[in-house]
Each structure stands twice: as C-alpha cells, then as structure tokens.
Amino acid sequence: MNNNLWYRDAIFYEIPIKSFYDSNNDGIGDFNGLTMKLDYLKDLGIDAIWLLPFYKSPLKDDGYDISDYYSILPEYGTIEDFKNFINKAHSYNIRVIADLVINHISDQNQWFIDAKSGINSKKRDWFIWSDTPDKFKDARVIFIDTESSNWAYEPRTKQYYFHRFYSQQPDLNYDNPEVREEMKNVIRYWLNLGLDGFRADAVPYLFKREGTNCENLPETHEYFREIRKMMDTEFPGTILLAEANQWPTDTKEYFGNGDEFQMAFNFPLMPRIFIALAKRSSKPIIDIINQTLDIPDDCDWCIFLRNHDELTLEMVDDEERDIMYKEYAKIPKMRLNLGIRRRLAPLVDNDRSTIELLNALIFSLPGTPILYYGDEIGMGDNIYLGDRNGVRTPMQWSYDRNAGFSGVYAEQLYAPVITNPNYNYEGVNVDSELRISSSLLNWMKKIIGVRKDYTELLGRGTIEFINNPNKRVLAYIRKYENQRMLCLFNLSRRPTYIELDLSNFKGLKPVEAFTKAPFPRIGDLPYFITMPPRGFFWFNLVIPETDDSMDFEGEDDY
C-alpha cells in the first residue's frame, strides 16, 4: 500500500459506527460489528472508509461533541477493537479515515470544565470568552433552528463563550499555541494507531477576527498547512479531506498550492446536481464544474450525493433554495436549518432511474465518489426522529428481527429501523437484494466495477462539455491519454434525443460501458441518440476492430 495518490483512485464509503452492525446485542453498532461487515464492503468494491466520530462523547451532536479525544465511546468498543478493525481493513486493502472534530469540543470535556471553573484557570484561554455577546457579530449562526446566537452565558464566571454550532459545543481558541499543539497531538495519536487520514470537520471556522465573517481566514489556512506538513513528514501517505461548505472560490482555497488539503468535498456541486434535475437543465452542473475544475496537481474533489447531515442549502441563492424546497421537501418536517433531512431514495421518490442517473453522475464527473451507508440498497428515512437522526437509522442487513442489525428487542435499539411500507426493511436489505440480480445493490456493485475498469480515465481524466441545444441532456467527454468516454444524461422525465457534433472523434465507435453494446461508428453527420426518461449512457469510444454488421450478435445483457 505505498501508492500515495490512493485517494484519487478510491471509492469511499461513509459509516457511523453506531448504525452499521451491533456485534454484542446492546442495540448499538460497534467496532467489532463493523469488522464483521468488512467482507460486505470488500464485495461491494469499497476502497476507503470514512468513520464518523467514535470518540468519548455525551452525544449531544451525535459524537461531534467530543469529551475525550484520546478514547473511544465505550459502547463502540475498545482501542483493541479499533486496532483490530484497522488491521483487518488494511489486510483487505481498505483504507480508513476518521472525523477530526477540530473547531469545537463538548462542554463535558475536561478542558472546558477546567476553563469554566474560574477566570484564572490554566485552560481559560483555550476558549473564547467575552463579557458581552456582541463580538464577532458578522459570524452567521449555522444551526438556526436551535441557536439564536453564537454566544452562550456561563453563570459561574459571568462571561459568554463562543460556539459556532450547538451551545454544548464551545469553540476552541486557535490563537492559543497550546491548542494548536494539542490538536496536532490528537492527530498523531490516531495516525499512530493506524488511521490513513482525516475528514476534518467544520474547517472554515477555526480562527475568528473582528470585522470578518470569521470564515476561511488566512490564519486558518496557515494552520492547516502546518498540519499537512507535519502529516507528510511524520505519516507519509495519510490524507486530509476538508468539510468546507462554502462558495466555489472559497472551497477551492482549501487545496492551497497543493500544500493544504489533498481532498475537499465538492459542496458547491452537490445541491446543483439536484437543482439541475429539478430544472431539467444541464446548465447548473456545467456552470459549477467549470468553476471547480482548476485545482492543484494531486488534489481531488470528493463527490457525494448525500451524507449524515441535512442536504445543505446554505451556499445556493434564494431562488435555487426555493426550487429545492419545492421539489424535494414538500412537507415542512423534511427541512432542517437551511437544508433537507432526507436520504437519497426518498428525495427522488424512490425512482430507480433517477437513483441510477445520479450515481452515474458522481461516478463519472471529475473527483472521487463517496457513498453514504445504506444508500446503495435504497434505504428510506424517518423525518420524525428529530435533528438529523432520520438518516442515521440502523443498516438493513436482512429481513430478520431489527433488519438483522441487532438481536435486542426493538425498543432497545438506538433508533427504530425503517418500516415505512415503501422502504420496509423486509424488502430493502442487503440479503434480499443480493438474491435478485435486478436489485439496486447489484446495480451499485456493477457501476463500481465499471468505474474500476476505467479508474484512470474517470479518476484522472479531463472533462469537456459538448454543446448541444437540448438543455435536458448533459453531455461530456472524459479523456485520459488515448482513452475517451462519452457520458450522456437525460435530466428530464420524458424521452428525448440529441444530435451531437462528434467530428473530433470521427471513425471511433461508441461501446456502452456497462453492457459492451456496440453503437454505430462516428461519421461525418451529427451523431444522433435517443434517450429514455432519466436515462444515461457511458460510451467508451474505441477504435473499431470489427465490422459494424456484427453488432447484433453476441452477449445480450450483463
């Protein structure tokens, strides 16, 4: 495992430990359970796992409120279980990165308990205190459904402390060199135990400066460059992935000059994929890809459709947000803060063609795809569970008790399994889907396999959009050395056709990448293709070996 660019070729998969598999029947998923399910992930074709926070925590924000950075929440297992998991994952050639919650901690953390004990406490300056809640007025509130200010009053010392998220999550003071050093020690600790890197949480907010919006400040970038340098020196081959939910130019800044984050989630692209679908127009995708293309060598976007949070709409304009709410959040409960708390399948009304089209997009646009656990089987959600818990329900393994997730009585589960008739776990589960060739799970295995057939082309190739007057169809060519893939997506719900100018590829033959179905050779005339509703094609463009008249013979399907 010494390919340092492994993250550019990988398929990632996001996992909350508590939701994956319960090995000891207490109703909560754990490390041993996850270890037992590595075979499943290997078989699916996953190369890297992103683990959500598994550290000690009172779970006010599902683990993003850490009370001890050096230990594991006992319900999830022990350090031994963790090491065991990492070793087995590595033996499968699966890399593991974990959340690094760097901006804030839990108010139950000893650091904060010390700090609030008196204004002369040694830890006092590890946090940001003020006599009034008036500083940093331009910093927006993020959890707008719960918090009305970024300041919370601490009665004992009669001062306010700053928090960007829940009030139980005091922000650390990065102007204090001890804090900067301590966080590096946390990083060292977990990398020493075998992690391959981190998904750094809430990166834009580390440093705060009066008169700014306290996001993306130069000091914050500087600190991440320091961390990167330390990781490159002490733990070569490990990576940093940025959660920076910002406008395109600001998000791109996290790659630095190739000396900051190796990867960043493509937050600008994600909502615009859904907007493109809602508008039946390729324009939102083309515009945003063009704005996010030019990044330093060896850096890459991580592209996703959904994750454990609400589908965030903070960085879109009002008109786009309205379109999103209208199309995807018809019931008010579906919204949370400035976003939509739903899983992929329910978002698109469980429409199989749309689910396939969306995945075909993230597997063929430039970047590294990441899947959210359960979306590969088309899991449903439960918008009535509060906060973002509705998209964090137990993984559905079989039609046994509790979807095969745990042997406890149902009421002991950390959250109920999905029983909504349209998404009932009795049908939507790994075991059932493996038994039927047309299932979503088998289709996902197929697309992962096809992507792997073209790792370099789709992982590293360039992209060029093909102009065509039919805005319903998104058309692009990926190119890498002498390989080329023509990708077409009908974003609308009706059949349509396009005529493409493919004169640059004259003489080549499109071969559909999933089935190897051959299409007529590209000639002088515009290339004419019809597309079913929400249909897509990936055509590998090859130098023809056979006579076109043979095209109707041979393999029929996959």
Q: What are the residue numbers of the active site?
A: 201, 243
Q: What track of x and - describes contact with ligand GLC for positions 216 through 255 (by CB under 6 A)?
A: ---------------------------x------------
- Which member of 253, 309, 356, 375 binds ligand GLC (CB under 6 A)? 309
**What residues are paired with 536 via a beta bridge?**
489
Provide the mask over 520-539, with x wherever binding to Ca ion is found by CB under 5 A and - wherever it is not: --------------------
Q: Which stretch binds Ca ion (CB under 5 A): 14-22, 138-146, 291-299, 352-360?
A: 14-22
Among 7, 12, 64, 198, binds ligand GLC (CB under 6 A): 64
Token output for 530:
């019809």
**Count residues contacting ligand GLC (CB under 6 A)?**
9
Q: Is 474 left (phi over 0), alpha (psi -120 to 50) or beta?
A: beta
Partners of 486 in the β-ladder:
477, 539
Nearer to Ca ion, 74 or 177 (CB): 74
CA 299 to chain centre: 16
Residue 179 interaction partner, one of Ca ion, ligand GLC, none, beta carbon < 5-8 Å per kind = none
Those residues whose C-beta lies under 8 Å from the C-beta of residue 550, and which sit 6 or more positions away, are none
Cα 183 to the center of its chain, rounded Å: 24
CB of 267 to ligand GLC, least distance (A): 10
CB of 142 to ligand GLC, least distance (A): 8
List the interface residues with Ca ion, window 343-382 (CB under 5 A): none
Which of 30, 61, 260, 356 is in the footprint of ligand GLC by CB under 6 A?
Answer: 61
> In this complex, which beta carbon is closest to Ca ion, that of residue 292 or of residue 396?
396
**Closer residue to ligand GLC (CB): 262 or 312:** 312
Nearer to ligand GLC, 310 or 433 (CB): 310
Position among 183, 202, 313, 362 found at the interface with ligand GLC (CB under 6 A): 202
Among Ca ion, ligand GLC, none, partner that 201 touches (CB below 5 to 8 angstroms by kind)? ligand GLC
**Per-residue contact string for residues 310-349; x = within reach of ligand GLC by CB under 6 A:** ----------------------------------------
Q: Does 536 bind ligand GLC (CB under 6 A)?
A: no
Residue 324 half-sphere exposure, CB side, CA atoms within 13 Å?
27
Residues 205/103, Cβ–Cβ less than 8 Å: yes
Q: What is the C-alpha separation between 484 and 458, in angstroms, rounded?
A: 9
| Cα angle for residues 81, 48, 10 (degrees, 5° grid) | 165
Q: Name the closest residue to ligand GLC (Cβ).
A: 64
Question: Does 28 help bind Ca ion (rule: CB under 5 A)?
Answer: yes
Q: Which of 34, 33, 109 is nearest to 70 (CA)?
A: 109
Q: Pick what 310 binds: Ca ion, ligand GLC, none; C-beta below 5 to 8 Å, kind-dependent.
A: none
Strands 151-154 and 129-130 come out as unpaired
Place of tokens 């074709």: 45
Which of positions 83-102 make contact with ligand GLC (CB under 6 A)?
Answer: 101
For the chain, the helix, strand and coil percentages under 3-state DSSP, each to the nearest 5: 35, 20, 50
Gyration radius of the chain over CA positions: 24
Rounded distance between C-alpha atoms, residue 406 and residue 404, angstroms: 6
- Which partner from the list Ca ion, ligand GLC, none does 15 bind, CB cut-off 5 to 8 Å by kind? none
Shortest spacing between CB 241 and ligand GLC, in angstroms: 12
3-state secondary structure 465-509: ECCCCCCCEEEEEEEECCEEEEEEEECCCCCEEEEECCHHHCCCE
Supply the minimum distance, in Å, between the C-beta of residue 215 and ligand GLC. Answer: 13
Q: What pairs with residue 48 in β-bridges?
A: 12, 95
The structure tokens 């490159």 sit at 232
CB closer to ligand GLC, 54 vs 64: 64
Three-state DSSP class for residue 66: coil
Q: Among Ca ion, ligand GLC, none, what binds residue 473 when CB lies within 5 to 8 Å by partner kind?
A: none
Measured from the CB atom, is 17 or 440 closer to ligand GLC?
17
Rule CB under 5 A: is residue 26 a binding residue for Ca ion? yes
Check: CB of residue 140 under 8 Å from CB of residue 213: yes
Task: Report CA torsion sign: 132, 138, 139, 141.
Answer: positive
d(CA 515, CA 307): 30
Q: How far apart are CA 164 and CA 142, in angstroms?
A: 7
Tell me which of Ca ion, ligand GLC, none is bound by residue 61, counting a contact when its beta carbon lies within the kind-specific cut-off of 5 to 8 angstroms. Answer: ligand GLC
Q: What is the DSSP letter of 521?
A: P
Of residues 200 and 288, the one with the C-beta less far from ligand GLC = 200
Encoded tokens for 393: 């329900």
Residues numbered 159-178 forming contacts with ligand GLC, rule: CB under 6 A: 165
Residue in 22, 47, 260, 356 binding Ca ion, rule: CB under 5 A:
22
SS3 398: coil
The answer to whether 198 and 99 are in contact (CB under 8 A) is: yes
Q: Pick between residue 337 and residue 359 the one whose CB is nearest to ligand GLC.
A: 337
Q: Shortest approach of ligand GLC to residue 387 CB, angstroms? A: 9
Query: Which residue from 201, 375, 376, 433 is in contact with ligand GLC, where contact means CB under 6 A?
Result: 201
Q: Which of residues 404-463 bind ligand GLC (CB under 6 A)?
A: none
Identify whether the C-beta of residue 40 lies closer than 8 Å to the C-beta of residue 400. no
State the residues that interact with Ca ion by CB under 5 A: 22, 24, 26, 28, 30
State the residues that interact with ligand GLC by CB under 6 A: 61, 64, 101, 165, 201-202, 243, 308-309
